[in-house]
């Protein structure tokens, strides 16, 4: 995947994660993209460790792994910001 594809995928994943976990979060558009990209990496890593496979591109399995990772990162982000 190209860098532009990662950014676009991260944006979509970050938006979906924020829709699944609404609330006031510090940060805006850039933070959403970074959460999505980080979630894709985290979801791929966790999926690989659990034997589900990693982030392989634009498919449903990768999307679900990335959204799950983004939600975990969003939980951590909120926890750190509220501490």
Average pLDDT of the segment spanning 68-82: 85
Average pLDDT of the segment spanning 12-27: 78
- Residues for the chain: how many in total? 83
The full set of domain ranges for the chain reads 3-82
Q: How many CB atoms lie within 10 A of CB 59?
A: 10
pTM of whole model > 0.85? Answer: no
Per-residue H/E/C for the chain:
CCHHHHHHHHHHHHHHHHHHCCCCCCCCHHHHHHHHHHHHHHHHHHHHHCCCCCCCCCCHHHHHHHHHHHHHHHHHHHHHHHC
Which pLDDT value is given to residue 20?
Answer: 84
pLDDT at 71 over 80: yes
19: CB partners within 8 A, 6+ apart: none
């Amino acid at each position: 995947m190209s860098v532009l594809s990662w950014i676009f995928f991260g944006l979509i994943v970050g938006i979906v994660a924020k829709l699944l976990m609404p609330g006031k979060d510090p940060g805006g558009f850039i933070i959403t993209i970074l959460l999505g990209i980080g979630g894709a990496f985290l979801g791929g890593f966790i999926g690989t460790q659990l034997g589900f496979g990693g982030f392989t591109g634009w498919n449903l399995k990768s999307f679900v792994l990335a959204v799950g990772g983004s939600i975990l990162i969003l939980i951590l982000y909120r926890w750190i910001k509220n501490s």
